[in-house]
Amino acid sequence: MVNRIWQHHFGQGIVSTPNDFGKYGEHPTHPELLDYLAKQFIQSGWSIKSLHRDIMLSRVYQLAGSDDAAVLASDPESTWLTHSRRRRLSSEEIVDSMLVVSNTLDPSQGQAHPFPPRSKKTYSQHHPFVDAYDSNRRAVYWMRQRLRKHPTLAIFDAADTKQSTGERALSTTAIQSLFMMNSPFVHDKSSALGARLIDEGKDDPQRIALTHQLLFNRPATNLDVELGLRYLQNNRKSLASTELDKNKIPQEALASYVRALMGSNEFLYLE
């Protein structure tokens, strides 16, 4: 349990084979640390919250990424915890992040899915049940089934529901970029964020600054503002030549800008 929670925070466990602590698994890189945390976990009354706190208040958790060539050469994967490892967000984290920044998150606990009544079920071997029932609740409440992965979460390597997945495989594919540009889900959330930016920002520079604060958790630089203003100006000109309602152009231009930033590594990766 301690190793899996450590893996959640650092991207890799102290034992890098979380499903195999046996003869054929990898040895722990820091066995004394693993024993210490396990002892603290037991003494706290098996408190997961206490274990999260111990890890997150540690110096090693608060380390930044490193650009030092010597450090990267000696420990490129941070096996010895010399710097922060860059980590791609999980599919659930990506979805939840978009829901939060767009102000569309439903914070309520998940309920039963709206399955059709038994009298109307006509599923068969060649016509299986494949409905997804997307919602604005956290992705952990989205429906999963054994026949296939969730079509949205699968894009970013959701776990296979047919087997135990101790460590998720990560891929980088063109489909992921296309999803961030064209998916109805992303368009809906970026449009909602565009509306939020219009409500909360007085002008374009302020809206660009707010966008960077929400998506990247940092202030916008002068270059960010300059590029953002240029993007919005060009995009509004393009939208003006379409049949789109003129009143919707400012929001749609911001939505397009938001999608471009959501597809960036700075949004999809934790460093």
Over residues 154-185, the pLDDT tens digits come to 999 998 888 888 888 889 999 999 999 999 99
Cα 119 to Cα 73, 126, 128, 143, 157, distances in angstroms: 64, 19, 16, 21, 35
pLDDT of residue 1: 96
Extract the tokens encoding 121.
């079920």
CA distance linking residue 182 with residue 175, whole number of Å: 10
Question: Which bin fits 143, alpha (ψ -120 to 50), beta or left (φ > 0)?
Answer: beta
Confidence bin at 30 (pLDDT 50/70/90): very high
Mean pLDDT of 35-50: 97
pLDDT of residue 5: 96
Residue 147 has pLDDT above 80, yes or no: no
pLDDT of residue 264: 95
Out of 84-93, 96-105, 213-222, which region has the weakest mean confidence (pLDDT)?
Answer: 84-93
- What residue type is 221 in one-letter code? T
Residue 258 has pLDDT above 80, yes or no: yes
114 compared with 36, residue with greater pLDDT? 36
pLDDT of residue 116: 80
Mean pLDDT of 26-53: 96
pLDDT of residue 9: 92
CA distance linking residue 264 with residue 238, whole number of Å: 22
CA angle 263, 268, 270 (to 5 degrees): 155
pLDDT of residue 143: 87
Residue 44 has pLDDT above 80, yes or no: yes
CA distance linking residue 259 with residue 211, whole number of Å: 11
147 compared with 232, residue with greater pLDDT? 232
What are the residue ranges spanned by the domains of the chain?
2-85, 174-270
Exposure letters 80-107 (e unless 16+ CB within 10 A, then b): ebbbbbeebebbbbbbbbbbebbeebee
Name the pTM for this structure.
0.86
State in Å, rounded, how far the first CA of the chain is from the last one.
24
pLDDT of residue 210: 96
Confidence bin at 79 (pLDDT 50/70/90): confident
Question: What is the chain's alpha carbon radius of gyration, rounded to the nearest angstrom?
Answer: 22
pLDDT of residue 106: 94
